[in-house]
């Protein structure tokens, strides 16, 4: 574990949590901000952990501590998280060891705010916490009670049991798919009718990329089949590229069939031009007619061969959303289907989306409206629940 202690009066409570973690077998590294040292000494934590406490970027600089510490840890807890540190994280400011390490972190980050209620409820702090939630940080909300200023209100650091549970949940989620083979299709297909023009759609692959990243964080062996996109692919995820539906079909037959979980988010064109011109078609006064033929149904093809695979499809609909999705669920032999409303291209891109998960027997779980990284975590939670109960 990596524990980041900031300069609030509740800093002393982190000594008790550190002791609890150590007693439960955790190896704990502690980073203290300079302000935290005004409330509790580094010696307290080093005595409890039997490890060095880090307070500066220049502690053992030859080991590059802001990288090494987050690479060795499985989860990070920032507690008490002050308004100042929260603002830095939300805005990408890295001016001390803790904020620099957090900027380099690719592991679960849990933030436990603690401050006066006036600071906690200030619009700037509210907006900064919303930004962190949208990036996938877990926020352990403060409690209401007696504050250091002899006032009562919200802002008291969450109880030790809540902080411990948040860390335990982050670790359980991180390892929950260990040894599981997950294949994800993502992005749009492009069906060309001359060397520079094609038929496609607005999908960017953002949802599939978010799912691949989340599945990898949970320990899965992930294969991402990805269409044309400008988005970056997750580190450590095997990524295979396609352009056309036929190319995706070939990749899926080789790499998705037989996986433990397949999540098909790709927006596959149902038709392709019957012919592709060898040269660019020149503009003229005549209308252009392009004859379209059916593409292979990639999801149905996986469904026909799925065996023990848990197969999840996506239904991007413009009307009668859940009725159309349930028909697709049965027809393509899916275990579950995610449905969303894409009227006016909503849901495409890197912003928020609104999703619901359906499964046979009228099963339904709303995944809500959120950033795609958060929806990815909610969807994988739901899939894991369904697999356990299947």
In this prediction, residue 157 carries a pLDDT of 93
Residues 258, 381, single domain; the answer is yes
In this prediction, residue 148 carries a pLDDT of 80
Residues 303, 328, single domain; the answer is yes
Residues 253, 106, single domain; the answer is no
In this prediction, residue 250 carries a pLDDT of 97
- Single residue among 156, 175, 194 that ends a domain in this structure: 175
Residues 221, 99, single domain; the answer is no
Give which of 203, 195, 197 is closest to 226, Cα–Cα: 203
> Does the pLDDT of residue 62 top 90, yes or no?
no
Residue 222 structural domain: 181-389
In this prediction, residue 135 carries a pLDDT of 85
Enter the pTM of the model. Answer: 0.66
pLDDT in tens, 178-196: 899 999 999 999 999 999 9
Q: What is the largest CA-CA distance in the chain?
A: 83
> Does the pLDDT of residue 204 top 60, yes or no?
yes
pLDDT in tens, 242-264: 999 999 999 999 999 999 999 99
Residues 216, 117, single domain; the answer is no
The total of structural domains in the chain comes to 2
Q: What is the mean pLDDT of residues 211-239?
A: 89
> Does the pLDDT of residue 343 top 70, yes or no?
no
- Give the 3-state DSSP-derived string for 267-302, with helices as H, strands as E and coil as C: ECCCEEECCCCCCCCCCCCCCCCCCEEECCCHHHHH
Helix, strand, coil in percent for the chain, rounding step 5: 40, 25, 40
Residues 189, 230, single domain; the answer is yes
Positions marked active-site: 201
- What CATH number corresponds to the domain at position 129? 3.40.50.1950
In this prediction, residue 311 carries a pLDDT of 97
Residues 154, 196, single domain; the answer is no
Residues 193, 145, single domain; the answer is no
Rounded-to-integer distance, Cα 1 and Cα 45, Å = 13
Residues 86, 187, single domain; the answer is no
Select the more confidently predicted residue: 232 or 40.
40
Rounded-to-integer distance, Cα 333 and Cα 328, Å = 8
Pairing of β 238-241 and β 352-359: unpaired
- What CATH number corresponds to the domain at position 300? 3.40.50.10300
- Single residue among 143, 175, 207 that ends a domain in this structure: 175
DSSP code at position 348: -
- Single residue among 142, 175, 208 that ends a domain in this structure: 175
Residues 312, 349, single domain; the answer is yes
- CA torsion 173-177-183-186 (nearest 10°) is 0
Q: How many CB atoms lie within 10 A of CB 185?
A: 31
> Does the pLDDT of residue 67 top 60, yes or no?
yes
Residues 251, 164, single domain; the answer is no
In this prediction, residue 112 carries a pLDDT of 96
In this prediction, residue 349 carries a pLDDT of 58
pLDDT in tens, 310-323: 999 998 777 777 89
Quick check: 260 and 182 in contact, CB under 8 A?
A: yes
Residues 75, 190, single domain; the answer is no
């Amino acid at each position: 574990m990596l524990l980041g202690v900031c300069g609030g009066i509740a800093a002393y409570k982190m000594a008790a949590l550190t002791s609890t973690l150590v007693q439960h077998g955790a190896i704990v590294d502690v980073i203290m901000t300079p302000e935290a040292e005004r409330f509790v000494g580094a010696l307290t934590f080093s005595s409890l952990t039997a490890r060095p406490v880090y307070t500066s970027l220049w502690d053992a600089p030859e080991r590059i501590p802001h990288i090494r510490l987050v690479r060795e840890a499985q989860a990070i807890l920032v507690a008490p998280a002050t308004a100042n540190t929260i603002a830095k994280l939300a805005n990408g400011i890295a001016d001390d060891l803790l904020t620099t390490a957090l900027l380099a972190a690719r592991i679960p980050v849990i933030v436990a705010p603690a401050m006066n209620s006036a600071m906690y409820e200030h619009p700037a702090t509210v907006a900064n916490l919303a930004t962190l939630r949208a990036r996938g940080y877990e926020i352990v909300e403060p409690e209401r009670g007696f504050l250091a200023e002899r006032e009562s209100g919200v802002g008291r650091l969450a109880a030790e049991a809540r902080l411990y549970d948040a860390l335990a949940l982050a670790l359980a989620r991180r390892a929950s798919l260990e040894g599981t083979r997950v294949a994800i299709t993502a992005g749009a297909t492009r069906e060309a009718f001359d060397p520079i023009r094609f038929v496609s759609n607005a999908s960017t692959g953002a949802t599939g990329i978010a799912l691949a990243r989340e599945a990898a964080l949970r320990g899965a062996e992930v294969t991402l089949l990805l269409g044309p996109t400008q988005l970056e692919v997750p580190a450590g995820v095997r990524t295979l590229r396609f352009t056309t539906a036929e190319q995706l079909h070939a990749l899926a037959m080789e790499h998705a069939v037989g996986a433990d979980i397949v999540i098909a988010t790709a927006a596959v064109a149902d038709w392709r031009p019957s012919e592709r011109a060898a040269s660019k078609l020149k503009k003229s006064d005549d209308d252009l007619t392009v004859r379209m033929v059916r593409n292979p149904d990639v999801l149905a093809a996986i469904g026909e061969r799925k065996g023990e695979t848990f197969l999840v499809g996506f239904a991007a609909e413009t009307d009668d959303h859940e009725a159309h999705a349930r028909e697709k669920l049965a027809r393509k032999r899916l275990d579950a289907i995610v449905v969303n409303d894409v009227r006016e291209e909503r849901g495409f891109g890197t912003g928020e989306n609104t999703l619901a998960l359906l499964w046979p027997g009228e099963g339904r779980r709303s995944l809500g409206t959120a950033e795609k990284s958060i929806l990815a975590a909610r969807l994988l939670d739901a899939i894991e629940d369904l697999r356990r109960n299947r």
